[in-house]
Structure 1
Amino acid sequence: MGITLGLETSCDETGVGIVADGVLLGQALASSMDEHIRYGGVVPEVAARAHLESVTSCLRQALADAGVALEQVDAIAVTSGPGLASSLHVGVSAAKAWALALNKPLYAVHHVAGHVAADTLQHGPLPDRSIALIVSGGHSSLLMLGDLATDPIVHLGDTLDDAAGEAFDKVARLLELPYPGGPSIQRAAESGDPAAIDLPRPLLTNFSERQRYAFSFSGLKSAVARYVQLARRTGEPIRTADVAASFQEAVVDVLISKAVAACRDHAVDTLLIVGGVAANARLRAVAAERCLAAGITLRVPAPRLCTDNGAMIAAIGDLVVRSGAKPSGLDFGADSSAPLDRSLLV
């Protein structure tokens, strides 16, 4: 049984996970989110300093959780991109130090591939072909997947401007709801009417063939901004719950409609939904309903595996190691804008 340790520091969570043969043995997570709330978003240097302060304790906690000694680790995987450059540098430097000290192979992996791999910890190996809907703060993509460890990752469509999670944050700010926007919008929407306000569904109709599976949430955010501005100008009360519910419904409708269409168009019967926004309860409910109607197998990991964590990096590292891939060595760097073509970046 090979044991892979994974380290994630791409944004504001420091995560360490330990996986062996597709089984999560242990993990630890530290977040600096509370330090960013007053700024309304993540401050890169604050996040990097928090990683420095947390990475060693997270390593110790994960090892204790797994009941594994550091010397028993067989390989190390680290997020080398994409993400905040200063945060990535902390993780890459720590992983290199561990690999050098332990004389263990090191693998530089893609953050988003880790999100996909997180699902395998709950639902087992992926089928030969599947489609993944990636929904997070920086990514909204539809991907065609083969063997996640070895095959190229094919992009069917990506975000053209604001990703879904980014749009949640911006609309929450417009509605004066707390950061982060995803949970705040969901909580507010629970008492709102999703049909109360007529909001656009960008690129769901009137799209070019190139935009068939693409996403654009900038216009939807602007529509909410116009509603809020008009209400303030006329003195009308802003129906926060209704706006939140209507906005959330529009985002969910676009995401799931395009994902189901992609599965049908490509004769794929398995859809994965991963990334931070995949923790959204309304997204999960609508996806389950529409996939059931379309005869598509839906795979969505538990919310704790949707947000950034070390387990997902250990999971993709475990898959890459078991595929027999050559280690990355020690001379790679952090790549804040790493393209998602393969799971192993170097």
Structure 2
Amino acid sequence: MPQQFSYLLAIESSCDDTSCAILKNDQVLSNVTASQKVHEQYGGVVPELASRAHQSNIIPVVDQAIKKAGISKSQLSAIAYTQGPGLMGSLLVGSSFAKSLSLALDIPLIAVHHMQAHILAHFIDSGQEKPQFPFLALTISGGHTQIVKVNDYHDMQVIGSTMDDAVGEAFDKSGKLMGLDYPAGPMIDKLARKGNAKAFKFPIPTAPDLDYSFSGFKTSVLYFLQKQTQKDPDFIKNNLEDLCASIQYTIIEILFQKLDKAVKQTGIKQVAIGGGVSANSGIRERLLAKREKGWKVFMPPFEYTTDNAAMIGISGYFKYLQKDFTDLSSTSSPRMSM
């Protein structure tokens, strides 16, 4: 770490959260996020509404983050922002603001990969032990499900990914079928703690090598619920906790069957998780249990699991040390390879 402090402002706007963080080297001074409630009534994120909300939120969020950090804009050393992947309209709001601020302050601009940032959240100075390279990372969110071999801060290789739907979508769509509000993942997790995970059996989808598939699982949940509610209209209401427990158990089984395989194939027993779904208590418990198998496991603090600018900031910080800057001609990328 350099002797001289660098202050970095980071912006995250890949989906429906507008977030700004201020970092002093690898320490988070502020991390302010404005969530968008407008999408709840639609059962999912509406891209046009998301970008409009970002436009309303970004100036107050940035202003609050700077004030909370107790610094002035003149002290900033660089601006980091999410380049992709994500919703194009949302990405453009964050990138346009970041470019404008970089130009106005005449300081470097740093483009960050959103999913790399989820992994690098483990390197924020939060008092927790950090993974050592190389390690495996399971990145799980509403839009992504990946197993990544992490060789260095920005040298990452995706060795397994979803062929269709992401794990977060599997949680949310299953919840919607049971009448739960969006996002349903946290509620399924809460109800699952009171249910019997073996009450109902759902199939484990087949996918090649280390890849995932969740579309067949969602279909099996749909057909099962349709069949049971035809027999008993109150089936879901009377079995909600057991249904949530069984669905969550199956999703975790899908995740860990492939993660187990990745550990065996690579011989790497340092495993980290990241992304919004990594806040799930069942997934965390299953990962912690792997310590008995000789795994060394890492879980980010809850405040760095969902989309947030602190993770963009730490990724930007390591790029700043390498002088890996971008220019105003850089474009946002809704689909961006690791």
CA distance in structure 1 between the partners assigned to 2:201 and 2:131 by the alignment = 38
Shift of 1:240: 1.8
Among 331, 335, 338, the residue aligned to 2:336: 338
Letter of the 2:68 counterpart: D
Verify: 1:194 aligned to 2:193, yes or no.
no
Letter of the 1:7 counterpart: I
Letter of the 1:323 counterpart: Q
Letter of the 1:140 counterpart: T
Match in the other structure for 1:230: 227
Verify: 1:21 aligned to 2:25, yes or no.
yes
Match in the other structure for 1:31: 35
Letter of the 2:334 counterpart: S
CA distance in structure 2 between the partners assigned to 1:21 and 1:257 by the alignment = 37
Match in the other structure for 1:78: 81
Letter of the 1:185 counterpart: I
- Contact persistence 1:193–1:245 (CA under 8 A): yes
Match in the other structure for 1:286: 286
Shift of 1:185: 1.2
CA distance in structure 2 between the partners assigned to 1:174 and 1:249 by the alignment = 17
Match in the other structure for 2:266: 266
Match in the other structure for 1:295: 294
Q: 1:40-55 alignment to 2 at 5 Å?
A: 40-55=43-58
Once the two structures are superposed, residues 9-35 of structure 1 have per-residue CA deviations (whole angstroms, 9 ceiling, x without a partner) of 011100111222221121111000x21
Match in the other structure for 2:251: 251
Match in the other structure for 2:72: 69
Match in the other structure for 1:91: 94
Shift of 1:190: 2.2
Moved over 6 A (4+): none
Verify: 1:138 aligned to 2:136, yes or no.
no
Match in the other structure for 1:343: none
Match in the other structure for 1:218: 215
Among 188, 201, 210, the residue aligned to 1:185: 188
CA distance in structure 1 between the partners assigned to 2:138 and 2:263 by the alignment = 10
SS class of match (2:288) = helix
Shift of 1:125: 4.9
Match in the other structure for 1:105: 108
Shift of 1:323: 2.4
- Contact persistence 1:27–1:61 (CA under 8 A): no
CA distance in structure 1 between the partners assigned to 2:69 and 2:264 by the alignment = 41
Percentage of pairs with the same residue: 35
Shift of 1:138: 0.7
Number of matched pairs: 329
Match in the other structure for 1:154: 157
SS class of match (1:180) = coil
Shift of 1:7: 0.3
CA distance in structure 2 between the partners assigned to 1:199 and 1:109 by the alignment = 38
Shift of 1:301: 0.5
- Contact persistence 1:20–1:318 (CA under 8 A): no
CA distance in structure 1 between the partners assigned to 2:260 and 2:28 by the alignment = 30
Match in the other structure for 1:344: none
- Contact persistence 1:22–1:124 (CA under 8 A): no
CA RMSD of aligned residues (A): 1.3
SS class of match (2:241) = helix
Match in the other structure for 1:322: 321
Match in the other structure for 2:311: 312
- Contact persistence 1:6–1:310 (CA under 8 A): yes
Shift of 1:257: 2.9
Give the 3 Å change call, closer, same or farther, for CA 181–319 of structure 1 in structure 2.
Answer: same
- Contact persistence 2:131–2:298 (CA under 8 A): no
CA distance in structure 1 between the partners assigned to 2:284 and 2:88 by the alignment = 31
Letter of the 1:330 counterpart: L
CA distance in structure 2 between the partners assigned to 1:68 and 1:127 by the alignment = 32
CA distance in structure 2 between the partners assigned to 1:294 and 1:264 by the alignment = 12
CA distance in structure 1 between the partners assigned to 2:232 and 2:152 by the alignment = 56
Instruction: Provide the TM-score with structure 2 as the length reference.
Output: 0.94
Shift of 1:187: 2.0
CA distance in structure 2 between the partners assigned to 1:319 and 1:285 by the alignment = 31
Once the two structures are superposed, residues 165-201 of structure 1 have per-residue CA deviations (whole angstroms, 9 ceiling, x without a partner) of 0111110110010100211211221221100001112
- Contact persistence 1:27–1:63 (CA under 8 A): no
Ranges in structure 1 where 5+ consecutive residues have no aligned partner? 341-346
Shift of 1:105: 0.5
Shift of 1:2: 1.4
SS class of match (1:35) = coil
Instruction: Provide the TM-score with structure 1 as the length reference.
Output: 0.92
